[in-house]
Chain A
């Protein structure tokens, strides 16, 4: 009887299987279908016809002349949207980091009681409907919205600024909507920070700037990386914010994908574009895991 107990894994599989079933049915399974659809031909009225084709993937990056199909050029409008998507997401991440770091630091250095209040204040928008927050921004920046009314009243401007349906509007909206996603992980990292290390920095003649740069930032780096990934990934896949604030001229990848299933009526192209988006996200995630993995190894190696 003695000896290593043979463990049965069957009960574990029984317990997880209902969740896995639902996830396979409504999350992972459909992704496989998207992959398959990206290699089919578009149907006449949306949908697909079951002719295998790589045309959709070709169309992601290149376009053919309507009259001379042999004439192939880079698909400028798609590439512009890819570039805008990545560039806006990057800027969103930077803005969130620049505003989020001081905010998280300020919260983490309050007394335990006030800290809870501040954290609560940051968390409420995080829990608030994304659409409502986007709507609130829209009301701010409309041509007859709050900002323009205030500026006109103050006499700063003579006629309303056109902010809606610009890249600026999308950037503002995304930074506004995703900011809590940066603050919360940064705060979590700072809460664990050993302030004796900061004291040690000052004790060893570092200035405030030097302590910030050489002690605090390296110590809260994991929070920075986590926050950046949490902001960057939803930005890359953003659909609602650019749809409401950006309109047709400043589409992002998410809107381009949706377009193929609406007016575009090119499901295979939409499926291929969705796969491109997925690849960008996976690359970002792998980058994140690499960075955090090597950080951890470095930390453990020294311990």
Chain B
């Protein structure tokens, strides 16, 4: 009789739990997506395939408005955060320690540590004060608040990329007569691009996802998609909401796929 090889990696039952966990992760999302295509206004009774809820969503002026606002806010915040995070990463990675460095790390990572609700009410207080003082109540507050919130997320992959970057490459450039600026332009920056892209995408998704900060900072008429949805969830939910959620899911999926492709290219 030939026995099976002894597999040291196997732990009995773990595979089953893993599969169930993944099913549990996806089942609610799949149901949400499936019923966005329901012809009837029910989350449980299937009445045939239809795109009527997508039509309804796209014809809903408010939905289109808040979606577009969410997108451009995320683009602006992620772009600002990525530029600032790249500069900060260059100054704090692969350098000899300097006084104040710990404080810089603490500041950069603060949005990761402090609960969003605390940052949210802090901004509410601050912005309320600024609005009275300046009379300005535009989108600027949201852009800056989102950018600050996105900085640590953009900083992480850029810093990681810098840290794994081979220092000898820049030495080689210097050895081959490149000035520090040329070294940055021809060697450091091109090699940093995947990290910068990953940082931008992380920032973009984080801004898109942010609901608490937006909820407390926004002025009237500045709803983003998440705050709009949060408001709608209290009412009777129609599959129109499923359709909006599905569209956003699709957008996330595209970004994750891009992110994966970029990070795999590194290896």
Contacts and interface: CB of A to CB of B under 8 A. Distances in A.
Within the complex, are A and B direct neighbours (CB within 8 Å)? yes
Interface in B217-234: 226, 229-230, 233
A115 B11 CA distance: 17
Contacts of A24: 107
A271 to B, nearest CB: 7
Given A102-B14, A202-B6, A240-B230, A16 B92 contact: yes
Interface stretch (B15-23, B47-55, B60-68, B187-195): B15-23
Interface in B161-206: 205
A267 interface: yes
Interface of A: 7, 9, 11-16, 18-20, 22-31, 33-34, 37, 47, 99-100, 102-103, 105-107, 109, 116, 118, 120-125, 127-133, 135-140, 142, 144-146, 149, 176, 179-180, 195, 198-199, 202, 208, 211-212, 233-234, 236-237, 239-240, 243-244, 254, 257-258, 261, 267, 270-271, 274, 277-278, 281-282, 285
Contacts of B9: 109, 195, 198
Contacts of B144: 22, 25-26
B11 A105 contact: yes
Contact of B229 (A116, A118, A135, A261): A135
Given A13-B91, A125-B25, A26 B148 contact: yes
B256 interface: yes
B117 A274 contact: yes
Contact of B10 (A28, A100, A109, A130): A109
Contacts of A22: 80, 84, 144, 147-148, 151
Contacts of B229: 131-132, 135
Given A129-B248, A131-B226, A25 B104 contact: no
B112 to A, nearest CB: 9
Q: Binding site of A, secondary structure by majority: helix, strand, loop or mixed? A: helix
A26 B84 CA distance: 14
Contacts of B59: none
Contact of B249 (A11, A33, A120, A128): A128
Size bin of chain B's contact surface: 35 or more
A16 B115 contact: no
Contacts of B35: 139
B85 to A, nearest CB: 6
6 contacts: A116-B264, A127-B252, A129-B252, A138-B237, A237-B117, A274-B118
Contact of B118 (A31, A102, A137, A179): A31
A135 B18 contact: no
A135 to B, nearest CB: 6
Given A140-B28, A176-B24, 20 more contacts: A12-B92, A22-B84, A22-B144, A28-B110, A31-B119, A34-B121, A34-B122, A37-B125, A102-B11, A102-B13, A102-B21, A105-B11, A120-B260, A128-B29, A131-B209, A133-B29, A145-B43, A198-B8, A237-B118, A244-B230
B29 A33 contact: no
A114 to B, nearest CB: 12
B160 interface: no
